[in-house]
Each structure stands twice: as C-alpha cells, then as structure tokens.
A = this chain, B = another copy of it.
Amino acid sequence: MIDLHAAVADLRTWQEALYQDLHRHPELSLQEHATAERIETELRELGLTTERIGGTGVVAVIENGDGPTVLERADIDGLPVTEASGLPYASEEPGRMHACGHDVHISTLLGAVRVLTAHRDAWHGTFIALFQPAEETAQGARAMVADGLVDRIPRPDVALAQHVMPGAAGRIGTLAGPLLCQGDSLRVTIHGRGAHGSMPHSAQDPVVVASAIVLRLQTIVARELRPGTFGVVTVGALNAGTKSNIIPATAELLLNVRTYDPAVREHVLAAIRRIVDGECAAAGIETPADIELYDAFPLTSNDPEVTATVTGALTAALGEESMEEAEPTTGSEDFSCIPDAFGTPYTSWVLGGFDPEAYDRAVERGTVAQDIPANHALNYTPVMQPTLSAGTTALVAAALAYMGS
C-alpha cells in the first residue's frame, strides 16, 4: 500500500514549479509543441517511453505485470485570452492563457505517474497516461483517434479524467450519468442577392432573412421540446454586410446547440435545417443555405459502476468531507471520444480549485467576469494548494481502485 499523503506531499516543490512554468507558457489548440516536449521530457526522466499520437498528443504506456489496464487523460491546450490575474507566474504570452486549468490537469497527471512509477510494488496491470491536445476546439481527442490511437495502445478497461472547476479547492464532485452536454457548432450561410441600399426590390435581402431565422429559432426550445427538457440554441454570431447603403449578398450565422439527449439533439438539428429552409423559401431564395456542422463536442455520460468504484476510492483517500455530488453542467468537452473509440466505460470528475473566501472577495471586488465567475475568464487561476495535491491523490487513488494490490 502506498502512503498517498506522504507520496503526494513529496512532489510539492517539483509539482508547483512545473505548474508555474506551464502556466507562464500556454499554447493554443493544436500548437502545443513546447508543452508536448515538456511532457515528454518529464516522462523520459522517469525512464518511460513516449509516443506522439495526433500531432501534439503524448502517450506513455506503463506496463507492470498482469492486471487491469487503466487510462487517465489530461488535456493540455490553453486559450486565446490575455491573462489579467496579477499572479507572479501569470502567462508571459500575450493573447494566450491557461484559463481553463489544463495546466492543473498536466501537473496532476504527471504527479500521478511519478507516484505510480515510484511504487510499482503497490499495483499490477497497465497504466496509460494520455496527454491530449486541443480540447478547447473539440479537435484533439478525435485527432488522436484518427491517428490510430486504438491500434497503437492497449485497450483500457476503464478510462478516467478530471477537470478543475470553480469550487472549493481540493473538493471532488462525482456524478453517475450525464455530466457534460453535447455541444454542436453550425455555420449557416444564407445566399441572398445584393443590391444598392436604395434598391431593395432588386435584392433578396439576407439581413431580413437571417433576422427572421433568429426569431424563429427561438421556437425550437420554447415550443418543440417537451417543457423542462435541457436544450440550448444560441446564435453566437450573425454577420452580414459592411456598409449602410449596400444590401449584402450573404449573411452568416454561427449557432451553438447544447443537449443531453441524443434524440433531442437530432430533433434540434433537424428543426434548424427546417427553419432555415422555410425562411429562405419565404424570401424566394432558391439557392439552399449552407449548414456546416464544424465543431461537435460529445456527451460526457459517466458509467454508473465506474463512478461508484471511483467515488468509493476517492472517499477513502480524501475523506468524506471532500466529496460531493456534482451537478450536470451546461458545458461540454471531448474526453469521451477516447473511451468511446475503445468501447470502454469511463468517468470524469470535478476538482474544485479555488479558495472559497478569496473567491468571494474577488466577486465582491468585481474582478471576475460578470456574475458567473467561470472557466475561460481572464482571472480563472486556481490556487495551487490543495488543488494540486488533491488532484494528484485523486488520480492515483482512482487508478489503484482497479490496479491496486
């Protein structure tokens, strides 16, 4: 048996330095070159072999005799945000920031690898540490799968992940079933006919058509879904024209759809097509609108059995007082693409990363974005402790729940 508390405490100096260094040098999705090299260096220092999968994805497979295969995944990309945290280790890259805590994910998974490699006698089986690029754009997990992931590493029996969130530092939330929703992004391009602004009769005005579409889209959630069903149809962008006196030929809408139920998702996507087509037809536009699904986050639905096992292990390791039931959120991520590619059950849990009191004070000072302090904000900077130690402990404990001797 590992003395988890001691093993994790020993990592502290190394882990905090690593975390600060990662935080200073965030890289954007699919461009995580230095980050991937740093991860490789850290893994090789432990004598491990690494493999690049999906460009900037890094995987280390640690075999340790017969036993279950456990995969743990960390995502590694930053965001196009300019940090405004005032921290001594704030991002040194203007316009880039680890504003979603992926640096915590890297640091804790590398910490877990350190603990596991240092205590090979305490477990049996195969541990896979998977560092995934481009979670923010929903491209990274699919890129790894497309690059042959399933054939290049052993099939895991279980897949695990954690995500740092705006909760009390060190607190863990688990939930069986749907935790994160599906998120689809669509680009709708209306092909009208332009004309001089004073000649509307010569145009098929795409601004009017786009506006009619926006209003009509509201009826999907308001009238077509059963009351109380989770669903969101957001038009995040509507762009048409550049001058007041020129009626443009086209209008572009960027839509975001959020659902938990695949049947609801299908209904919503079909309704969008139907409404766009109907509104174009009402305007006499014969060229079909283009509707491109350019971004799709999968549903994250935690396996009940895996969740129960992991919850038990984490409770034992961190104490009852550190555990809570997570709530389904309106967010999305792409982790589940990886276990789904293998047909492997999975669970993903939530790791609180904020000093509740400091956080409340920040809210009072108005330094957090709006009234929803959230991931992606300019000052989304978890406190290092106990976030890093709790996250590392959780990863080790969850892995040992399957592989522990």
Q: How far is the CA of A281 from the CA of B211 in the complex (A)?
A: 17
* Of the residues B205, B214, B230, B254, contact of A243 by C-beta under 8 Å: B254
Q: Which residues of chain B come closer than 8 Å to A284, judged between CB atoms?
A: 271, 274
**Are the C-beta atoms of A201 and B227 separated by less than 8 Å?**
yes
* Of the residues B220, B221, B225, B258, contact of A198 by C-beta under 8 Å: B258
Minimum CB–CB distance for A229 against chain B, Å: 7
**Are the C-beta atoms of B211 and A214 separated by less than 8 Å?**
yes
Minimum CB–CB distance for A356 against chain B, Å: 21
Q: How far is the CA of A242 from the CA of B238 in the complex (A)?
A: 8
Answer whether residue A118 sits at the interface, using C-beta atoms and an 8 A cutoff: no
Answer whether residue A66 sits at the interface, using C-beta atoms and an 8 A cutoff: no
**Are the C-beta atoms of B202 and A234 separated by less than 8 Å?**
no
With CB as the reference atom, state the residue of chain B lying closest to A372.
Answer: B202
Answer whether residue A376 sits at the interface, using C-beta atoms and an 8 A cutoff: yes
Quick one: given A210-B211, A238-B211, A372-B195, are A228 and B229 in contact (CB under 8 Å)?
yes
Q: How far is the CA of A214 from the CA of B251 in the complex (A)?
A: 14
**Are the C-beta atoms of A183 and B203 separated by less than 8 Å?**
no
Oligomeric state, in number of copies?
4
Answer whether residue A129 sits at the interface, using C-beta atoms and an 8 A cutoff: no
Answer whether residue A11 sits at the interface, using C-beta atoms and an 8 A cutoff: no
With CB as the reference atom, state the residue of chain B lying closest to A267.
Answer: B201
**Are the C-beta atoms of B239 and A243 separated by less than 8 Å?**
no
Q: How far is the CA of A218 from the CA of B260 in the complex (A)?
A: 21
Answer whether residue A306 sits at the interface, using C-beta atoms and an 8 A cutoff: no
Minimum CB–CB distance for A291 against chain B, Å: 12
Answer whether residue A308 sits at the interface, using C-beta atoms and an 8 A cutoff: no
**Are the C-beta atoms of A236 and B247 separated by less than 8 Å?**
yes
**Are the C-beta atoms of A258 and B227 separated by less than 8 Å?**
yes
Q: How many residues on A have C-beta within 8 angstroms of the other chain's C-beta atoms?
A: 85
Residues in A355-378 with C-beta less than 8 Å from chain B = 370-372, 374, 376
**Are the C-beta atoms of B223 and A370 separated by less than 8 Å?**
no
Answer whether residue A200 sits at the interface, using C-beta atoms and an 8 A cutoff: yes
From A198, A227, A260, residue with most partner B Cβ within 10 Å:
A227
**Are the C-beta atoms of B244 and A198 separated by less than 8 Å?**
no
Minimum CB–CB distance for A250 against chain B, Å: 12
Minimum CB–CB distance for A78 against chain B, Å: 16
Residues in A95-118 with C-beta less than 8 Å from chain B = none
**Are the C-beta atoms of A244 and B234 separated by less than 8 Å?**
yes
Answer whether residue A145 sits at the interface, using C-beta atoms and an 8 A cutoff: no
Answer whether residue A208 sits at the interface, using C-beta atoms and an 8 A cutoff: yes
Q: Which residues of chain B come closer than 8 Å to A271, judged between CB atoms?
A: 284
Answer whether residue A399 sits at the interface, using C-beta atoms and an 8 A cutoff: no
Q: Which residues of chain B come closer than 8 Å to A372, judged between CB atoms?
A: 195-196, 199, 202
Interface string of A74-112 (1 = CB under 8 A from B): 000000000000000000000000000000000000000
Q: How far is the CA of A244 from the CA of B194 in the complex (A)?
A: 25
Q: How far is the CA of A228 from the CA of B279 in the complex (A)?
A: 26
Quick one: given A200-B232, A245-B236, are A274 and B278 in contact (CB under 8 Å)?
no
Answer whether residue A67 sits at the interface, using C-beta atoms and an 8 A cutoff: no
Q: Which residues of chain B come closer than 8 Å to A312, judged between CB atoms?
A: none
Q: How far is the CA of A283 from the CA of B185 in the complex (A)?
A: 22
Q: Which residues of chain B come closer than 8 Å to A213, judged between CB atoms?
A: 211
Other than the known A236-B248, A243-B254, what 16 A-B pairs have Cβ atoms closer than 8 Å?
A: A194-B370, A196-B330, A197-B232, A197-B234, A199-B227, A200-B223, A201-B225, A202-B370, A205-B219, A218-B222, A220-B222, A221-B227, A222-B222, A237-B240, A239-B239, A278-B282
Q: List 24 A-B contacts (CB under 8 A).
A: A198-B227, A198-B258, A199-B330, A202-B370, A207-B238, A208-B214, A208-B219, A211-B212, A211-B215, A212-B215, A215-B216, A215-B218, A218-B223, A221-B222, A228-B230, A228-B231, A228-B328, A236-B241, A236-B243, A236-B248, A237-B242, A237-B243, A242-B254, A281-B281
